[in-house]
Amino acid sequence: MPNTVIIGAQWGDEGKGKVIDIFAPKADYIVRYQGGNNAGHTVVIGKDKFVLHLIPSGILHKGKICVIGNGVVVDPKALLEEIGMLEAKGIKVDGRFFISHQAHIIFPYHRRLDELKEGMKKKIGTTKKGIGPCYSDKVARAGIRVIDLLNSVVFKEKLKNNLKEKNAILAKIYNAEGYSFEALYREYSDYAGKIKKYACDTTLLLNDAIKKSKRILFEGAQGTLLDVDHGTYPFVTSSNATAGGASTGTGVGPTKIDKVIGIVKAYTTRVGEGPFPTEFEQDLLDRIREKGGEFGATTGRPRRCGWFDSVIVKHSVMVNGIDEIVLTKLDVLDGLEVLKICTAYKYEGRIYKNFPSDIKVLSGLEPIYEETPGWKTDTANITSYSKLPRNAKLYLKKIQKLLETRIVLISVGSERRQTFSSE
């Protein structure tokens, strides 16, 4: 297996956790490169369901090394809770998990500012986990990194400087209570002692692994249309969820990456605010949401659902350089009489075949659909492409033709066994 990036090609929640779990046995290292605990990757193994927010889902495979890269923002409390959950289930973490010295740390004031900002302005749909404010500090060169947390002198100085500014903002702009330096310093010094054994120079670790011909799987969070540069801005996350983020978020150069695999659902979903041209009418939305279990792994929020949008996925194929596609949740469409695929948009008399950047245009787009017949049989227990209903095959071929990219795997359920090759 070459060094491979696995990314979401829609608005997230495409099933990356399961797909990474499937590819992990062929990798030596599994690396998370952006986002924070605002993402949730779900893996179902038999009767056990694992929801991981920070640690790569490859940790569920014995002997695999899992890494949190420099591009991730880390809430140490959430991280330690996740480690505790895994160890309680008998999964060894020590010696198999490493976190970058350069990853930035989320503090309670980040979460509070996230919550207060969301309440004062037009909603973005943030998870209120403090992700955006932490990335803001990073870009403003005021952030506190893991390496800073581990140095008591540096940490004390940086925390004092940050609290002066953050407490002033909380008081003067939001009329909110600030934070005690002593309390935060004690709490986070305690976290430092607990995460110290996992912290290292992960850029060196990964590049040394590549020199030894080790195979690396790069795990993206969220989805391409939530990328801060290439998504439906401003209704996006605060990091680069695209394949390019794998290089900046780990320190592994782009020439060391061999393949990009995009994950798509057989339909489209998104969580939170923002434009969604192919969103279902309420009756069908309720039906698909219930059948597909479309509720956020991190927040529990109900996901918005709609028809497959080939325009946004073609955009993803382009900006990520996607080589292959894995299509998930085909079974959720079982029983529909007719399926629709969006192939273009219309806005004020103009036809758009590419993804527009103007948020006003995006918010007013009318989808142009092609219809294809549905299938009336259950696909959840199908184990090979050859056994799929004829109309399901036609649907997949239509999507593949529109995207000009090969579908290599198909998933018809949440369990590992409910996945098969397209050949």
For 256, other C-beta atoms within 10 Å of its C-beta total 16
Token pair of 301, please?
Answer: 């929020």
State the Cα–Cα distance between residues 67 and 98, nearest whole angstrom.
5
Q: Is 361 exposed, middle or buried (0-12, 13-18, 19+ CB in 10 A)?
A: middle
State the Cα–Cα distance between residues 240 and 323, nearest whole angstrom.
19
Q: Is 204 helix (H, G, I), strand (E, B) or coil?
A: helix
- List phi, psi (to 5°) of 152: -60, -35
Candidate list 21, 41, 101, 148, residue with the active-site label: 41
State the Cα–Cα distance between residues 51 and 47, nearest whole angstrom.
13
For the four alpha carbons of 154, 159, 160 and 165, in that order, the dihedral sign comes to positive
Q: Is 88 exposed, middle or buried (0-12, 13-18, 19+ CB in 10 A)?
A: exposed
- List phi, psi (to 5°) of 316: -65, -45
| 8 Å CB contact between 29 and 56 | no
Look up 114 and say whether it is catalytic. Answer: no
Which CA distances in Å does 241 have to 39, 139, 217, 218?
11, 17, 15, 11
Which residues have a Cβ under 8 Å from the Cβ of 355 and sit 6 or more positions away? 311, 312, 314, 315
Look up 13 and say whether it is catalytic. Answer: yes
Please list the active-site residues: 13, 41
